[in-house]
């Protein structure tokens, strides 16, 4: 998606039936509150931010944030619950609480009580507003009040939050393209920061000073990169200057939780292409040095990223894991000594694993996968250069569903070293498919551990693992081999197994 191609914008937002139904319900709640004297001032409802932006761009969106002018988000959520309880809506077939799929589901819905969750404000993590979140008509809705901020301390860093006007609230938002409102009460589009003009021009710009906006919430630096890469928009020059500001970079590394950073990075991968563009932008602004960390330091390879472009659209390649593995590739099997929870002992830990799991708080499986890809890259290089069926099978059994991603990383490493890979990846995939190795990691061994102990007269322990590897080798080399043939081969291997005695003599 790019900037608006037409210079003429639609005169109004076009709602889907479900959106119109939701907004009608919210309007009834607001009207009911006034009639029941729950509030003495009419409540004006506005949809803020991403939903409005996407609707103007002609995109579908279920990211609905409601901004309220005279009441807090929590108070309005309470009104929604009261309204649901006092009417038959919550027990009707069109319940806002869910969409019944069967009579049984409808019976369950009748027992449901309307409820909402409260997300507390946390200024230390740049979360300044208390938010109520509630599920209505299969939408997850966030309710907050319009806000303005004043700074009373000498540093000008501790904001005093209070109810604000739409203009004040829009000016405190991250970017002009996200500062648009859809006024539910008047069914009109409201633009206080030239957001529509910036959508036309395809530019990411802040309503206020970029530095002030970023220091208010440093995560906005990454949000700007996400929106730029998603919509193919350009970052404004003043915004880029502020991103490079040491004070902003320090705030990003110290004021924002790792979980929020990791979630924002994951959000960049709306498509593989947008994820790739986001990482290119990150590294061009040297933000990789800020967000990818390890207690004893990391070596990052931003120069390798252009080579990844070859594999962004390749089927079954995880671009997200490929990019992380590429940028962390120089660290290989490097470890550091990590202090354990007991505060006394240390244990070796992979730098790559730490960066992914603790540095950006991605899932443990992601950290394990990136570590495996980085540490196994030389195996991928060997396979790309022509190793046979056995090596290919062992590679697939190790990398499993990520074997294509592993091959792509191997090709990226060859390219980064100045080598040529023209056709290598495609030929290797074709060779592996010709070997019929796809899914070989799912195959059960022809002989299990207990069977090995019996037929080879083995004891317990590592020796069983050694011979289990032989079983796998037999299966990979002999696609149609039987259990009996495998046992016979194992026995011959054992007879020929040469072991060194204490004197260094060889005995068979």
| Predicted confidence (pLDDT) at residue 503 exceeds the cutoff of 70 | no
pLDDT at 149: 72
Per-residue confidence at 33, pLDDT binned at 50, 70, 90?
confident
Whether pLDDT at 10 is above 70: no
The phi, psi pair for 186, rounded to 5°, reads: -105, 0
Q: Give the Cβ contact number of residue 205 at 10 Å.
A: 23
Q: Among 59-73, 100-114, 276-290, 404-418, which is the least confidently predicted range? A: 100-114
Helix-strand-coil percent breakdown of the chain, rounded to 5? 50, 10, 35
* Residue 337: strand pairing partners: 348
Q: Where are any strands of DSSP class E within 318-383? A: 335-339, 346-350
- Specify the pLDDT at position 206: 97
Weakest-pLDDT range from 252-256, 337-341, 352-356, 498-502: 498-502
Longest dimension (CA), the chain: 99
Identify the pLDDT of residue 62: 87
Rounded to an integer, the average pLDDT of 184-197 is: 93
Question: Given this model, what pLDDT does residue 111 score?
Answer: 53
Judged against a pLDDT cut of 80, whether residue 25 lies above it is answered with yes
Question: Average pLDDT of the chain?
Answer: 87
Q: What local confidence, expressed as pLDDT, does residue 63 receive?
A: 85
| CA–centroid distance for 245 within its chain | 26
Q: What share of the chain in percent tops pLDDT 70?
A: 86
Q: Residues 49, 51, 53, CA angle at the centre, nearest 5°?
A: 70
Q: Is the pLDDT of residue 9 over 50?
A: no
- Region 304-315: mean pLDDT is 95
Question: For residue 507, is pLDDT > 50?
Answer: no
Q: Which residue has the higher pLDDT, 98 or 179?
A: 179
| 41-53 confidence digits (pLDDT tens) | 889 999 998 999 9
Q: Tell me, what's the pLDDT at 34?
A: 82
DSSP string, 391-452: HHHHHHHHHGGGHHHHHHHHHHHHHHTT---TTHHHHHHHHHHHTT-TTGGGPPPSS-HHHH
More confident residue, 151 or 280: 280
- Mapped onto helix, strand or coil, the DSSP state of residue 47 is strand
If residue 149 lies in a helix (H) or strand (E), which one and from where to where? strand 147-151
Per-residue pLDDT band at 367 (split at 50, 70, 90): very high
CB 121 within 8 A of CB 127: yes
What is the pLDDT averaged over residues 473-479? Answer: 92
Mean of pLDDT values over 106-128: 58
Which range (74-88, 211-225, 240-254) has the least confidence?
74-88
189: phi then psi, degrees, rounded to nearest 5: -90, 135
Tokens of 119: 């997300």
Taking 80 as the threshold, does the pLDDT of residue 105 lie above it? no
- Residues found in the chain: 508
User: Rounded distance, CA 203 to CA 213, Å?
Assistant: 16
Instruction: Evaluate whether 268 touches 297 at the Cβ level (below 8 Å).
Output: no
Cβ contacts of 62 within 8 Å, gap of 6 or more: 51, 139, 140
- pLDDT value of position 373: 98
How confident is the model over 132-173, as pLDDT tens digits? 999 998 899 999 999 887 655 544 455 667 788 999 999 999
């Amino acid at each position: 998606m790019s900037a608006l191609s037409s210079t003429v914008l639609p005169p109004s937002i076009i709602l889907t039936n479900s959106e119109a139904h939701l907004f009608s319900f919210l309007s009834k709640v607001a009207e009911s509150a006034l009639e029941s004297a729950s509030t003495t001032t009419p409540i004006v409802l506005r949809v803020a931010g991403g939903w409005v932006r996407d609707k103007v761009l002609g995109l579908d969106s279920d990211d609905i944030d409601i901004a309220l002018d005279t009441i807090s988000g929590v108070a309005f959520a309470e009104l929604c619950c009261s309204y649901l309880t006092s009417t038959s809506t919550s027990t009707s077939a069109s319940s806002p609480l869910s969409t019944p799929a069967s009579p049984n589901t409808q019976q369950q819905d009748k027992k449901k009580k309307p409820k909402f969750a409260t997300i507390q404000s946390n200024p230390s993590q740049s979360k300044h507003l208390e938010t109520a979140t509630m599920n209505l008509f299969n939408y997850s809705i966030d309710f907050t009040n319009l806000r303005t901020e004043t700074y009373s301390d000498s540093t000008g860093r501790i904001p005093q939050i209070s109810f604000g006007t739409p203009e004040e609230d829009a000016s405190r938002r991250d970017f002009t393209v996200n500062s648009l409102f859809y006024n539910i009460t008047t069914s009109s589009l409201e633009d206080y920061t030239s957001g529509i003009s910036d959508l036309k021009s395809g530019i990411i710009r802040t309503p206020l000073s970029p530095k002030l906006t970023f220091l208010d919430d440093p995560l906005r630096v990454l949000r700007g990169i996400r929106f730029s890469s998603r919509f193919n928009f350009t970052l404004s020059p003043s915004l880029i200057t502020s991103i490079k500001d040491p004070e902003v970079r320090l705030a990003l590394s110290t004021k924002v939780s790792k979980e929020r950073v990791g979630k924002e990075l994951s959000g960049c991968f709306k498509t593989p292409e947008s994820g790739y563009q986001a990482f290119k932008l990150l590294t061009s602004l040297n933000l990789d040095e800020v967000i990818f960390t390890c207690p004893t330091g990391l070596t990052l390879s931003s120069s390798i990223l252009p080579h990844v472009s070859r594999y962004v659209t390749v089927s079954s390649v995880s671009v997200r894991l490929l990019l992380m593995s590429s940028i962390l590739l120089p660290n290989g099997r490097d470890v550091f000594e990590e202090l354990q929870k007991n505060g006394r002992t240390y244990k070796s830990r992979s730098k790559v694993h730490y960066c992914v799991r603790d540095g950006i708080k991605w899932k443990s499986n992601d950290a394990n996968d990136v570590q495996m890809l980085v540490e196994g890259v030389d195996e991928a290089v060997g396979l790309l250069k022509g190793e046979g069926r056995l090596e290919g099978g062992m590679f697939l059994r190790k990398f499993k569903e990520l074997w294509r991603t592993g091959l792509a990383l191997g090709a990226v490493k060859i390219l980064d070293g100045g080598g040529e890979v023209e056709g290598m990846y495609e030929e290797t995939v074709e060779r592996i498919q010709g070997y019929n190795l796809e899914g070989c990691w799912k195959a059960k061994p022809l002989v299990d551990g207990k069977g090995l102990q019996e037929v080879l007269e083995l004891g317990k322990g590592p020796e069983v693992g050694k011979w289990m590897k032989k079983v796998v080798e037999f299966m990979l080399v002999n696609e149609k081999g039987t259990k009996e043939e495998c046992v016979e081969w194992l026995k011959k291997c054992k007879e020929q197994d040469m072991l060194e005695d204490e004197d260094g003599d060889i005995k068979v």
